[in-house]
Amino acid sequence: MVGIRKLTARFKLQLALKKYKPAEIALPNDMLNTRNILVCLPPGQRELTVIKQVLPNLSEVFGDAEIYLMASPGSSVHGIFPHKGFRILTPSKDQLTWSGLARRSYLGLLQQNRFDLILDLNLDTNNFVKSVLLSYPRAIRVGSAGILGAPYYNFEIKSRYLRDEKSIYKSIIEMLGTLKAAQLPIKTDRNAN
């Protein structure tokens, strides 16, 4: 049954990719105007506690931007992340399709927030997150290099750390801060790495 669900999710994502139209981004100019950030959290409790330690760095980089944390389906994050400056979005079972992708109603709820930047902190592939990333062709979609790639991410950050999750997350956030502080605009296709 699980194999059929994954196969169905993969097929639906392939269909969504055919409809996907990338837009152009200009870094760091687009990052300077970032007002709403969606952080896609991984499902594991250990990873969540590590991410909790580096989220203040993200708040420092983006200052007054609204930061939303999107938990993986079935995750319980309210005990780990108190409501200190972050809004938590946890999809319920009725907001998922049978195959585990985000329903249109949930994507519509997310799109009301008009996210400028989506930061995927999953270090493994996740079909639910893929469906969310494809619904934001105009946003800056950032992830760790070698996980999903284009067209899901339009900007990948490679970390020199291989196994230390805290250092990986920290280096991704530091690179975003460096890009935001850069003076020269870098034009790139929304679909390029």
Residue pLDDT, tens place only, 97-144: 988 889 999 999 999 989 999 999 988 888 899 999 988 888 899 988
List the helix and strand counts (H, then E) for the chain: 6, 8
| Domain hosting residue 32, numbered range | 2-189
What CATH number corresponds to the domain at position 69?
3.40.50.2000
How many whole angstroms separate alpha carbon 138 and alpha carbon 155? Answer: 12
Within the chain, what is the greatest distance between any pair of CA atoms? Answer: 52
* pLDDT(158) > 70: yes
How many whole angstroms separate alpha carbon 102 and alpha carbon 128? Answer: 6
3-state secondary structure labels for all residues of 88-154: EECCCHHHECCCCCECHHHHHHHHCCCCCEEEECCCCCCHHHHHHHHCCCCCEEEEECCCCCCCCCC
Pairwise pLDDT comparison (47 vs 22), residue with the higher score: 47
Place of tokens 């995927």: 120
- Closest C-alpha to 94, from 122, 114, 74, 120: 74
Q: Is 87 helix (H, G, I), strand (E, B) or coil?
A: strand
> For the chain, how many structural domains are there in total?
1
Please, what is the average pLDDT of the chain? 83
Confidence class for position 188, pLDDT limits 50, 70, 90: low
How many whole angstroms separate alpha carbon 156 and alpha carbon 129? Answer: 15
Contact (CB, 8 A) for 51 and 23: no
Q: Is 14 helix (H, G, I), strand (E, B) or coil?
A: helix
Residue pLDDT, tens place only, 69-83: 888 887 776 666 665
